Amino acid sequence: MKKAYLLGLVGLAMVFASCDDMLDVNPRDKFTNDPSFWNNATQVENYTNSMYGNFSGYGYSGAGGAFYFSSLTDDQVKPEFENWTFTNVPNSSTSWSSPFTEIRRSNYLLDNMGSSTLADAVKAKYTAIARLCRAYNYFLLVQRYGDVQWQDHVVLTTSDDYVKGPRDDRDLVMDRVLEDLDYAIANIGTGNKVSWSANLALAMKSEICLYEGTYCKYRTQAENGKAADATRAQKYLNECVNASQQLMGGSYSLTSNYGEIYNALSLTGNSEVIFCRHYEKDVLGHSTVDYTSGSTAQRGISKDAIDAFLFTDGLPLATTSLDKSDAPELVDGKYNIEKMLSVRDKRLGVLLDHTLAFKGYGNARGSLAEMTSSTGYTIAKYYTDKMGDPSATSQIYYCNNIGTGYTDAPVYWLAQIYLNYAEAKAELGNITQTDLDNSVNLLQARAGLPALNLNPAADPANNHGVSNLLWEIRRARRCELMTDGNRYWDLVRWHQLDKLDSSKYPNINRGANLSVVPDCQLTLEDGYVVPLTATRSFEAKYYFYPIPTEQIENSGKATSQNNGW
C-alpha cells in the first residue's frame, strides 16, 4: 500500500524501485510491453498509480498547479501582463500533447487487459481506472480545442489513421467520455481519499456533466461552431444531478470552517474531501505556500472579485444598506481592511490577509519574507504556520522555499458537489427551496450569510443575462472556489469569456482602494490601484485554443484549424 500511496504522490517519477523497474523511466509510458507485464497484478497496479499525475493539485516542486496559478480570470491580476493563453498558432503545445500522452497511457492498458490472465474482477477495476483517466484527458482536450480525434487504441506513429484523419465532433467525443465515466463508476470499487474509487469517478462525472450541460445550453454557432442544443443540455445536466445526489447522500459532510481544506497537512481524515493529492514532508513538496507567502509579488485579487462578495445582510454592493467603504485604516504603520471584512461574506476574510501589501508597504507573516501584491490584496487561504518544527527557521524553510511545502491539495470535495447540484437543478428549471437548503444554503450558512431563496432580489451588477437565481448561484460558486482554478472554464461554459476583456471591464484590472495612502507609489484611478497599463481584448476565437501547426502537418492537413486562428 505504501508503494501505491507514494506513486500517487509523485506522478512524475517513481519514488521506489519495482521488481523490474519498468516505470522508472521518462516519459512514464515507455516500458516493456509484453504479456508478462499485464499478467502481473503488482505491476499493473503500479502502472495505474502512475496516472495520479493527471491531478496537479498544488503542483510539484517548482511547477504550479491549478490553485492560485490559473490566474487568467477576472478574479486575479498577475503582476506582469497576462494575455490569452495563445495569441498566435504554436508549432507544438503541451496543452495538446500532454493529454494525448495520458490517453496513450490509458490505451496501453485497455489494449492489453483483454488478453491478461488476471481475474475478471481485477481486470475490470484496472480497466475502469484507465477509462476514468482517458475520460478526464479527453474532457481537457474538448474544453481547449473543441473537436478532437478520439483514440481507442495506442497510437505510436504519425501514419496512424487517427493522426491522418480529421477531428471527431466534440459532442461524439463527450458522449464517449460519459460512457467511460459510467464504466468507471460501476467497476472501480471503493477506496480512500488518495486512491481510485467510485466516489472519485462520481465527483468527476458531476463536474464534467455540469460543464457539458451548460456549455451546450449557451454555445452559439457563430462563436463556438455549434448551435445551442437544449436536449443535449438537459441530458447532461440530469447526469450531473444524479451523480451529485449519490455523493450528497453519502458519508461526506462540510467542515465547520471554510478554508480548512486548503492549508491542512493531511486531508485523509477530512469529512468534506472526496479525493485529494497528498504531499509528504521532505519527500514530495510543492510551492503554492511559497508563492503566496514569499517575496515574489502575488497575483493579487481584483476589485471585481472583491465586489462579488455579499454583505452580511445577504445583499450585494449595489443594494446593501451596510457600510460599503473599502478604504483601509492605518494601524501600526500598516493598512488594515478588517473593517471592510467585518461586514462581508466570511470567505473573503479567509481568502485575504487582513493587511494590505503593496510597494512601499510590504507585509510579512511572522518571520517569513515580506509580501507584496499586484493589487494590494494578498491571498492567505493556502498558508499555514504548522509546516516544519515550531521554530522560525524551520517554518521559513518550509514556507518560503521552492518545492518544500507539504500541505495536501483537495481535488474533489463536497462544496463543489453542492454547487454543481444547485446550478444544474436551476439550469433545468426544476430546483426547489429544499434543493437550495440541501446544497448552496449550507455553504451560505458557513459563510455567515442568510439563506438564498428561489426569488432573490435583482442585482444591478448581473451582466450575464440570466435569472436572478442563477446569478446568485454563480456568485456562490465564484466566491466559494475563488483562486481554485475553475473560473476561466466557468466563463467559457456560460459563454461569458468576454468578461475577461479588461478594456470593457476595467475593474478586473483594479485592486485595493489606496486613496488614503498619501505617499502611494502605484498608479491609481478613482483611488483604486491599476496594476497594469496594457489591456486584454476579447475575440470570439479565444473560446478555443489553436490547433498546433505540427498536428495539422502530421495529419496531412486533414486536421482543420479552429475558426479565427
Task: Report pLDDT for 157.
Answer: 76
Reference 418, options 233, 563, 210, 126; nearest CA is 210
The verdict on 137 and 248 lying in the same domain is no
Task: Report pLDDT for 27.
Answer: 37
Task: Report pLDDT for 30.
Answer: 57
The verdict on 153 and 199 lying in the same domain is no
State how far the Cα of 286 lies from the Cα of 62, in Å rounded to an integer: 7
The verdict on 36 and 149 lying in the same domain is yes
> Exposed, middle or buried, 16 (CB in 10 Å: 0-12/13-18/19+)?
middle
The verdict on 237 and 129 lying in the same domain is no
The verdict on 119 and 267 lying in the same domain is no
**Domain final position from 500, 515, 534:** 500
Grid cell for residue 366: 511572522
Count Cβ atoms below 10 Å from residue 21 Cβ, excluding itself: 12
Model pTM score: 0.94
Domain of 17, CATH number, reads 1.25.40.890
State how far the Cα of 309 lies from the Cα of 296, in Å rounded to an integer: 27
Number of domains, the chain:
2
The verdict on 17 and 100 lying in the same domain is yes
Residue written as grid cell 483562486: 483
Reference 111, options 173, 52, 47, 174; nearest CA is 47
Reference 83, options 69, 72, 92; nearest CA is 72
The verdict on 219 and 249 lying in the same domain is yes
Count Cβ atoms below 10 Å from residue 449 Cβ, excluding itself: 23
**Residue 532 is assigned to a structural domain of this protein:** no
Task: Report pLDDT for 155.
Answer: 85
Task: Report pLDDT for 279.
Answer: 96
Task: Report pLDDT for 212.
Answer: 98
> Exposed, middle or buried, 227 (CB in 10 Å: 0-12/13-18/19+)?
exposed
**Residue 474 is assigned to a structural domain of this protein:** yes
Question: Is the backbone peptide bond immediately before 460 cis, with ω within 30 degrees of 0?
Answer: no
The verdict on 128 and 158 lying in the same domain is yes
The verdict on 127 and 7 lying in the same domain is yes
**Residue 469 is assigned to a structural domain of this protein:** yes
Q: Which amino acid is at 489?
A: W
**Residue 442 is assigned to a structural domain of this protein:** yes
The verdict on 221 and 260 lying in the same domain is yes
Domain membership of residue 30 as a residue range: 1-54+92-189+543-554
Domain of 200, CATH number, reads 1.25.40.900
The verdict on 123 and 254 lying in the same domain is no
Reference 462, options 447, 474, 449, 478; nearest CA is 474
**Residue 21 is assigned to a structural domain of this protein:** yes
**Residue 398 is assigned to a structural domain of this protein:** no
Contacting residues for 120 by C-beta, under 8 A, at least 6 apart:
none
Region for residue 457 given its phi and psi (left: phi exceeds 0; alpha: psi -120 to 50; beta: otherwise): beta
**Residue 334 is assigned to a structural domain of this protein:** no
The verdict on 181 and 204 lying in the same domain is no
What does the pLDDT profile of the chain (565 residues) look like in tens digits?
333 333 333 333 332 222 222 222 233 455 678 999 999 999 999 999 999 999 999 999 999 999 999 999 999 999 999 999 999 999 999 999 999 999 999 999 999 999 999 999 999 999 999 999 999 999 999 999 999 999 999 988 777 777 778 999 999 999 999 999 999 999 999 999 999 999 999 999 999 999 999 999 999 999 999 999 999 999 999 999 999 999 999 999 999 999 999 999 999 999 999 999 999 999 999 999 999 999 999 999 999 999 999 999 999 999 999 999 999 999 999 999 999 999 999 999 999 999 999 999 999 998 999 999 999 999 999 999 999 998 999 999 999 999 999 999 999 999 999 999 999 999 999 999 999 999 999 999 999 999 999 999 999 999 999 999 999 999 999 999 999 999 999 999 999 999 999 999 999 999 999 999 999 999 999 999 999 999 999 999 999 999 999 999 988 888 899 999 9
